[in-house]
């Protein structure tokens, strides 16, 4: 993993942002009391906005079993390099004509 770019607290959550060698930013989120992270979508979205701004495009990944690394109750968001996106959603599903 790359170097730590940012660490801060947001309510009950600790947030760490790492720069990955791939160009992605990795946002790691856990609770300060170490209980399971049960954050709703809007809370995770606000954390993403706090960490990288409203224009940051992030995904949460659910890997295959062979790639699973389970260290503690955390949520992980991965922010794409500027201008890159996953070709999913209404932006790509609309027909060209």
Q: Render each residue's pLDDT in the chain as its tens digit; 97 residues.
A: 566 687 778 789 999 999 988 899 999 999 999 999 999 999 999 999 999 999 999 999 888 888 887 767 899 999 999 989 888 777 766 655 4
pLDDT for the residue numbered 97: 45
pLDDT for the residue numbered 52: 92
The strand ranges marked E within the chain are 4-10, 13-19, 25-31, 58-60, 75-79
pLDDT for the residue numbered 1: 52
Q: In terms of Cα–Cα distance, which of 80, 71, 85 is closest to 28?
A: 71
Domain spans of the chain, in order of start:
4-93
């Amino acid at each position: 993993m790359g170097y730590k770019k940012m660490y801060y607290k947001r309510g009950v959550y600790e947030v760490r942002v790492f720069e990955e060698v791939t160009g992605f930013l990795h946002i790691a989120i856990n609770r300060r009391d170490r209980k399971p992270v049960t954050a709703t979508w809007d809370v995770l979205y606000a954390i993403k906005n706090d960490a990288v701004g409203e224009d940051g495009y992030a995904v949460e990944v659910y890997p295959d079993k062979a790639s699973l690394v389970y260290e503690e109750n955390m949520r992980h968001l991965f922010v794409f390099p500027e201008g890159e996106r996953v070709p999913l959603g209404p932006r790509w599903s609309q027909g060209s004509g």
